[in-house]
Structure 1
Amino acid sequence: MSSSIGNRDDVAPAAGEIDPDYPIDPVPQHARKSLFSLAIVLLGFTFFTPTMLAGAQIGAAFEVGSLIWVLLLGSAVLGVYVAAIGGIGARTGLTTVMMCRYSLGTSGAKLASLLLGGTQVGWYGVTVATLAGLTASALDWTGRGVEIALMIAGGAVMGITAYYGYKGMYALSIVSVPLLLVLAGWVTWRSLDEVGGWSGLTAIVPTETMTIAAAVTIVVGTFASGGTQAPNWTRFARTPSAGFWACVVAFLVGELLMLGFGAIGAISFGEGDFVLVLYQLGLVGWGLVFLVANLWTTNDNTAYNFGVAGAEIANSRSKKPFVIGGVVLGTLLAITGIYDNLIEYLVWLGILIPPLGGVVIGDFLARWRGGMPAASGLPSVEWRNLGAYVVAAVAAWWSNEAGWFIPPVVGVVVAVVAVLAVQRGRRPVAEPVG
């Protein structure tokens, strides 16, 4: 078999103007980005306030020595999984939902697009509501009208960089990521000073209890869904190794830093919300800067995700109409309060979405390592892999219900093994392009 379709510039595109973000096409070599560029964009994605809240929750249950190892283990599990699928995205040049066309079939991939895109719209609404609520609280603004106005403004602004695609997200992240690191690092230093340095921190006794498995599940769950869509950015990598290492930097190192900053701030100040820690230090202005930059760099990635998912469903060369539509819908969810009812549903992300990534990884290992076939030769539904996904999702659900091991990891591992089993010895449905 020949080289991957994502490494070729001569693949004939379909008719119509091509979006510079190539939502349904392999990214050509001339549009590929550097490792630094990818790492910055992905760090902007993983620098997320709820991740710090997760670190605070875990930090209350472990002594500092054990806490470090637990956070490292959870970040390593997440980082390895995301790096694996991110490397495949770099090799193929395709988004996650487009790779699902190869794994689930042209019609079967619609399930993945609806699941990935739909849940991202929900997350967009949750984040818009969070931003509006904390901003109103910080500025002591009251009234439902004010909150709605903040939701509309926040929803529109956060969608702008996603509308302009990779270029817009990179421009935002190159400014916000260093700022977030400086602010978080400074507060962590103040936190250590608050408790008498490292020795004082290590002397603090945990106030909660939690198993290591539960702690790792929380860490992995913070970005199990978002990480599954890492190929949406790593497909721009110049080499598969660049895509792999960009994910390691963002989802292992970046995730570990956010968890650590959140845990140390919470242990020292008794406050799990990092933004409120800034408020306690009298830094309301900087707290707002941190909040806006933190949520914006993640939510524009969220909007980008549902943009490319919509493009796959409609087989559209442009993601922009779907970015706009998703932003409007997500903002409406925030305004109407429906997002309150989505939280329990969003918990299912760690059960339903990682198995999709496992199917892609398993299918790539089983059939596509030598190259991707022409899209015209794909079946409508790849029933074997769809069955493997269902089995993996059920296994992840059972793991969650039984409290056994880490549900997202169970889903990924079962999916990979199941696909390798059902696809063993089967050749691709069509010869690779080239």
Structure 2
Amino acid sequence: MAGELGKAWLTIVGIGEDGPAGLSAASREALARAEWVTGAARHLALLPDLACETAVWPVPFDDGIAPLLAQRGRRVVMLASGDPFWFGAGSTVTRHLGRHEWTAHPAPSTFGLAAARLGWSIDAVACVGLHAAPFERLRPKLATGVRAIVLVRDGAAVGALARYLLDQGFGDSRLWILEALGGPHERVRETTAATMAFADIAHPVAVGIAVDGSGAVLATASGRPDRWFAHDGQITKRPVRALTLSALAPRPFETLWDIGTGSGSIAIEWLLSHPTTQAIAFEADPTRAERARSNAATLGVDRLRIVEAHAPEGLADPPGPDAVFIGGGLSEALLDWLWTHLAPGTRIVANAVTLESEATLAAWHRAKGGDLLRIELSDVAPIGSRRGWRAHYPIVQWSASL
């Protein structure tokens, strides 16, 4: 039977704005054989009357998963926009299925169609899906000369995107509003973020952006300037942060625990290092926790998870880390807990300022090994009419692997 485990009972069909005309032979065959077809009302309306049962996919999207899975044993077609696996619905559905339960026939993606209309090399363009995501995810990419193709929810979202670019100092950015690409109602119009005034933008819509303006640009290297982070003084300063991130050595798909996160600067820079990284920030002070959350959202890494708890009491439930940074609350009890509970190979980096904390790190270095580094920094400050070096408190940094 088609619905038996290991059989492809579900076909995911990518459909464009040209409807049946753009469907592949395989997609047409799947629809002709289907016993149940589901998709957004807009997608179903693109097709001629079907002989089989149909169902409109509900909103929110996840509410459609259970009704779809209930169709196991029948020949099912799910309609999705363009390429279902490029900021589309495909992976959301297939994570609930065995690999051999489904097959897919993608149509040209909106990104591909947009690049073709604009004459842009798609491998050099930032492709971003912002249907249900904040515009701040664009923040790390905003620099003059950058090109981006952005998918947004509707026409109102285009206006909001233009205002966001203007607020960030990139009002000179050129925008191409790309509506209903690939269909009979396709339309492409050009404007700028500062002058965008179209009130009749039709869904589905994408926006091509050629970034331009005098807004602040977020550096790509670790140790971003402190001004990017709101804080109350509880922040790992830029030079020490750069050394700390170097010691933590973030890698793709890894998770960081940032204990005593303060402003969240270490966790945020960890997340900025690669889009697949994850971070959990532990902060007992609710005001600081909210500030760290706000900093993360502003800098486009809203995936930062905040746990308002003391360490080690609050460390038991979250997923285990690949690396741990201790920026606050260093104690023998915390180090004992980490060494007892975390997996071998977990990297630990701890910074200390007080003599008592230095003594703790020196003792653990003697017992466990690793690297012990003393960081002494000075900057220039006025001395009367002249200048001299102003020393900062030295930082002792211990890094080791379990």
Which has the larger helix fraction? Answer: 1
Question: Shared fold (TM-score greater than 0.5)?
Answer: no
Larger Rg: 2
Query: What TM-score does the superposition give when structure 1 sets the normalisation length?
Result: 0.21
Which has the larger strand fraction? Answer: 2
Query: What TM-score does the superposition give when structure 2 sets the normalisation length?
Result: 0.23
Higher relative contact order (CA 8 A, sep 6+): 1
